[in-house]
Chain A
């Protein structure tokens, strides 16, 4: 998998062996996970010290919940990788897709196994970045770029809010370890700070999992190639937000803020996203909205407090991956085989694509929650969770809409496009896809049925996941516990869902007509307004603040510093003392006179070259002052820097004439203002130094360095010892900056050279 050069990386199509090598990554991880589970080594923890001064560890922990997520990431990953091998076969950038998919998978694995909030955050943002590149895979296409950008802006800024929340939470709880937090937080007082932390974490989780009002980015991210959509948007990344909430559920589960927010946001998302699904004509976007709705349902279930709700979360997580990923694959196959995903052009595909149709039927059955499928078990658990406690009307409505439209969407994806006769066949070119495109959806969808018939296969992984999510102990899971009442609800949902399916087109038209009046209210239009406003704001601020006038910048800078120092001195004026007067030594007095002379000259002169020399005088005077103040090192440096500075600036000024600039300051109009600002600035700084020198400085550091310099670093020059030994890493950073600055300056300097010389320099 080495990538020797860029041209090697692109262009040449991948050989099957190479694809197989990439597929090994998720496959080996999946088998490794199975091995771990079978040996009963879960929970498994590994920890390395990372930032000990902040108590942040490179800590990993695989418990039941992580194992379930890992099973989805690596298991669905195998299917996705195989599918990608076929879907993009011969694509010039297929290798890049595989590299990014692998990187994404590793980031996901890191995220769900991290046992430290900050470690989790690092992987979390890595998934944002890799998914940005995956969504923008077709970067020649503007829509693709815009969608990628939207996904990154929404999930990235949410991640930053979450980071702030993590910091607040860590400060309050005294640990950043997730397993530690789960033990500490339930005992803690519910302070406003902690609520703030929780709200910030909510923002991160909700943006990642596309909850209302951040739901708009996910369907737009369907610009990604199908394998990516299936992976990112059904099985893995968008479930990260849900995962984080589930992970923190034992810590915060009893808070009214936690329960209320999750139930409300989850219900609204579950219902609203399904209504938005009814507006779409693109099969993939319909599926994407139903994914958003499922995420809402998961969030709502986390908000419920009964232990059985956590079982429902685990079951739905698994069930959704097992039906939604195949349905995305089916949408991709239809696209591949017919060239379109629009509902109006599709129909009667079962003859041309029998295997895809079978996969769609199996997955659709699970999505609709028909008996003997794993989706049915998920619905059963959700039903039981709702019975276990008093739930709000909002939850009932949200979940009701979710269940009904899920049936309709399943019908559209599994029946309408394959069995419906649209009158004229608009897709005569339809053909079945190759094995690598047909097997992944078939296998995953079949798994959904197998687990439905033999639920005990999945029982242990779901049970351990639920145990990890629940504060209260869960002994066992009883599938089919409320079968009679469940069947009643299921029948109603199914019946209404079938009605919605049958009247899909009229409902679609109705919603579309209605929505036209409300489009300005949609989150996505707020988003576009904000995004469009940023360049305008930048233009206005650039025009007013960055007008390109160097004297203007300097004036602003010095004025701001003056104000800052003035405010600071004003606020602490009570504690300030005026120092005792003492006669300066002759050397110091002389230095001061030289400095003052230089400053006065610089203020009054007109020719730039002479001004530079006058400023140099100020520098030399300061150096003399340092010499008498017992800092010969600083004085030497100052002398040399001053000399080099004057030489360099003088040589620049000599060129200015050639570049058509004058060497004297034109227009004395601004001079009075400059005088006022410089006098104010100088007074403020002087005042600051005088009052600072009157106080006693804390000698701790200087004493430490003086005492340690010779024994620890074998050097008597303390300044140098600090630079090269005690604070060597700072110095290393500084000289790196110096080197980078010359790299940046070289093109600018080269551009200023006369053309003939530039030509020579290039050859």
Chain B
């Protein structure tokens, strides 16, 4: 992997966003159709790995929402845990999910703490597995010069 792959470097920009949007779509449909936080997270990991291969692990790391895989995973776990807290205020056991429907004129928006939990799973998988993949990619040549988006 010493050589730069020019086609990949050009293509990866739009591809990254397409894969991310797909991953979010997989995440959001998960409650009713095949999908969910885990699969969505894995799809998002593939976007990050792609960026890492094309432009280097450091660039891919900077591209993550928090700039650091561990922080991303931690935020995921934290939001999943916090999604169980509102249940306390309703006098229910921890992690009993609450949901309500928000009327929006013509349509209705369904909101739930389940969503927050699933997003937490998504972020945790994305962060942790990206951490592994980028860490492995970094065990690399000392003469590596494909830094940043050059």
CB neighbors of A among B63-93 (8 A): 69-70, 73-74, 76-77, 80-81, 84
Taking the complex as formed, is B24 at the interface, i.e. its CB lies under 8 A from any CB of chain A?
no
Q: Is the C-beta of A728 less than 8 angstroms from some C-beta in chain B?
A: yes
Contacts A647-B49, A739-B128, A754-B142; is A731 near B35 (CB within 8 Å)?
no
- Tally of A interface residues using CB under 8 Å: 47
Within 8 Å of chain B (Cβ to Cβ): is A344? no
Give the chain B neighbours of A752 by CB distance below 8 A: 139
Rounded to whole Å, the gap between the CB of A656 and the closest CB of chain B is 10
Which residues on B sit within 8 Å (CB–CB) of A716? Answer: 31-33
Task: Output the least CB separation between A657 and chain B (Å).
Answer: 11
Are A735 and B76 in contact, CB atoms less than 8 angstroms apart?
A: yes
Known interface pairs A728-B97, A746-B70, A749-B139. Does A641 touch B42 (Cβ–Cβ under 8 Å)? yes
Report the Cα distance A269→B40, complex, angstroms.
66
Which residues of A lie under 8 Å from residue B34 when comparing CB positions? 632-633, 636, 717
Contact present for A728 and B95 (CB under 8 Å): yes
Interface residues of A in 719-752 (CB under 8 A from B): 719-721, 723-725, 728-729, 731-732, 735-736, 738-739, 741-743, 745-746, 749-750, 752
A756 within 8 A of B: yes
A68 to B33, CA, bound (A): 65
How far, in angstroms, from A754 to B46 measured CA to CA in the complex? 25
Select which of B43, B118, B141 is within 8 A of A640 by beta carbon.
B43
Q: Which residues of B contact A723 (CB under 8 A)?
A: 36-38, 121
Q: Does A664 contact B (CB under 8 A)?
A: no
A713, A721, A728: residue with the most chain B Cβ atoms closer than 10 Å? A728
B59 an interface residue at 8 Å Cβ cutoff? no
- Report whether A715 and B114 are in contact in the complex, using a CB–CB cutoff of 8 Å: yes
Q: How far is the CA of A752 from the CA of B136 in the complex (A)?
A: 9
Please measure, in the bound complex, the distance between the C-alpha atom of A750 and the C-alpha atom of B121, giving whole angstroms.
26
Q: Tell yes or no: B45 within 8 A of A by CB.
A: yes
Contacts of A754 in B (CB 8 A): 139-142
CA distance A716 to B1 in the complex (A): 44
Asked if A728 contacts B139 (CB within 8 A), the reply is: no
The answer, yes or no, to whether A654 is at the interface (CB within 8 Å) is: yes
A717–B32 touching, CB < 8 Å: yes
A735 contact set on B, CB distance < 8 A: 73, 76-77, 80, 120-121, 124-125
Nearest chain A CB to B100's CB is how many angstroms away?
Answer: 10
B20 within 8 A of partner (CB) = no
Cβ-defined contact, A715 with B32, below 8 A: yes
**CB distance B39 to A725 under 8 Å?**
no
List of A residues within 8 angstroms of B131 by Cβ: 742, 745-746
Nearest-CB residue, chain B, relative to A755: B142
- Chain B residues, CB < 8 A from A536: none
Total contacts A to B, CB within 8 angstroms? 152
Could you say which of B46, B135, B139 contacts A644, with CB atoms under 8 Å apart?
B46
- Contact indicator B33/A637 (Cβ below 8 Å): no
Mask, A654-696, CB within 8 Å of B = 1, is 1100110000000000000000000000000000000000000
Contacts of A749 in B (CB 8 A): 132, 135-136, 138-139
A491 CB-CB contact with B under 8 Å: no
Assuming A651-B136, A742-B70, is B128 touching A714 (CB within 8 A)? no
Complex interface bits, B113-150 against A, C-beta within 8 A gives 1, otherwise 0: 01001101100110111011101111111101000000
Q: Determine if B114 and A724 form an interchain contact, defined as CB atoms under 8 angstroms apart.
A: yes
Q: Which of A640, A717, A736, A741 contacts B30 (CB 8 A)?
A: A717
The residues of B that contact A715 with a CB separation of less than 8 Å are 31-32, 114
Q: Does A31 contact B (CB under 8 A)?
A: no
A724 touching B135, Cβ below 8 Å? no
* A643 in contact (CB, < 8 A): yes
Given contacts A655-B140, A742-B127, A750-B135, contact A717 B36 (CB under 8 A): yes
Query: Is A753 on the interface with B (CB-CB < 8 A)?
Result: yes
A652 contacts partner chain B, Cβ-Cβ < 8 Å? yes
A750's nearest neighbour on chain B, judged by CB, is B135
Query: Within the complex, what minimum Cβ distance (angstroms) separates B81 from chain A?
Result: 6
> Are A720 and B77 in contact, CB atoms less than 8 angstroms apart?
no
Q: Which residues of the other chain, B, contact A24 by a CB distance below 8 angstroms? A: none
Please tell me if the beta carbons of B127 and A644 are within 8 angstroms of each other in the complex. no
Determine if B1 and A742 form an interchain contact, defined as CB atoms under 8 angstroms apart.
no
User: Do B135 and A636 touch across chains, with their CB atoms under 8 A apart?
Assistant: no
Tell me whether A188 is interfacial, beta carbon within 8 Å.
Answer: no
Q: Does A429 contact B (CB under 8 A)?
A: no
Considering the chains assembled together, what is the distance between the CA atoms of A658 and B1 in angstroms? 12
Cβ of B129: which chain A residues have Cβ within 8 Å of it? 644, 738
Q: Given A643-B46, A742-B127, A655 and B70 touching (CB < 8 A)?
A: no
* Known A720-B36, A724-B114, A724-B118: A652·B136 in contact at CB below 8 Å: yes
In the complex with contacts A717-B31, A717-B35, A739-B127, A728-B117 CB distance below 8 A: yes
**Quick one: which of A636, A652, A721, A725 contacts B35, CB cutoff 8 A?**
A636
Task: Check if B139 sits within 8 Å of A732, measured CB to CB.
Answer: no
Choose among B84, B137, B144 the residue that contacts A651 (Cβ–Cβ < 8 A).
B137
Q: How far is the CB of A623 from chain B (nearest CB, A)?
A: 12
Q: Given B1, B30, B114, B125, which contacts A654 in the complex, CB threshold below 8 Å?
A: B1
Interface assignment of A39: CB less than 8 Å from any CB of chain B: no
**B contacts, CB < 8 Å to A:** 1, 30-39, 42-43, 45-46, 49, 69-70, 73-74, 76-77, 80-81, 84, 94-95, 97, 99, 110, 112, 114, 117-118, 120-121, 124-125, 127-129, 131-133, 135-142, 144
23 A-B residue pairs with CB within 8 Å:
A636-B35, A644-B45, A644-B49, A648-B132, A652-B136, A658-B139, A714-B99, A715-B114, A717-B31, A720-B30, A725-B114, A728-B97, A731-B80, A731-B117, A732-B81, A732-B95, A735-B121, A742-B69, A745-B131, A746-B135, A749-B132, A754-B142, A757-B142
Given contacts A714-B114, A724-B114, 5 further A-B contacts (CB under 8 A): A648-B132, A735-B80, A738-B125, A739-B70, A739-B128
Chain A interface (Cβ < 8 Å from any Cβ of B): 632-633, 636-637, 640-641, 643-644, 647-648, 651-652, 654-655, 658-659, 713-717, 719-721, 723-725, 728-729, 731-732, 735-736, 738-739, 741-743, 745-746, 749-750, 752-754, 756-757
